Amino acid sequence: MGLRETTVTTTPRATTRPIAPDLFTWPAERPCLVGSRCVECATVVFPAADTCPRCGSAQVESHELARRGRLFTYTTQNFLPKEPYAGPETEETFAGFTLGYVELGDEVMVEARLTEPDPERLQIGMEMEMVVVPFRRDADGTEVLTFAFAPIDPEVSS
């Protein structure tokens, strides 16, 4: 079962929230992932870190990542993930999904769910774009949002 696209509006409602604070810009007309960039060596990481994994510097700053990238590799997740996964599925309802690594420019590679559930329709090297998608509903009805990458139609992206 694929993630739903185009069901999230860019206008925040009191009943929506990101899965984690500062993971992506929200609300935003064109949301993007937020990583960190080392002031000393320019290493970029996602998710954001307090120190640089390359040089150990604590001089890191927030860094918005590119929205588009290329699919580096992908696979399928055919079993219900273990904790800390907090999706709405059960062993009985889990239908599987695709996930991959997406290279965002020359800066960083991000692991994420893909919106295209059929691995036959994915190709290494295809252009992808970060999107915000519904993940689950909390007990109080709040819709929890996460990020995923969606293939870009080559005829549309010129």
The pLDDT of residue 158: 35
pLDDT tops 80 at residue 157: no
Asked whether residue 98 is domain-assigned, the answer is: yes
Name the 3-class secondary structure at 6: coil
What is the spatial distance between Cα 152 and Cα 126, in angstroms, rounded to a whole number? 8
The pLDDT of residue 149: 98
The pLDDT of residue 10: 52
Asked whether residue 108 is domain-assigned, the answer is: yes
* CA quadruple 35, 128, 149, 125: dihedral, nearest 10: -90
What is the spatial distance between Cα 58 and Cα 143, in angstroms, rounded to a whole number? 35
Asked whether residue 60 is domain-assigned, the answer is: no
Asked whether residue 50 is domain-assigned, the answer is: no
pTM above 0.75, yes or no: yes
The pLDDT of residue 153: 76
pLDDT digits (tens, 9 = 90+) for 105-129: 999 999 999 999 999 999 999 999 9
How many structural domains are present in the chain?
1
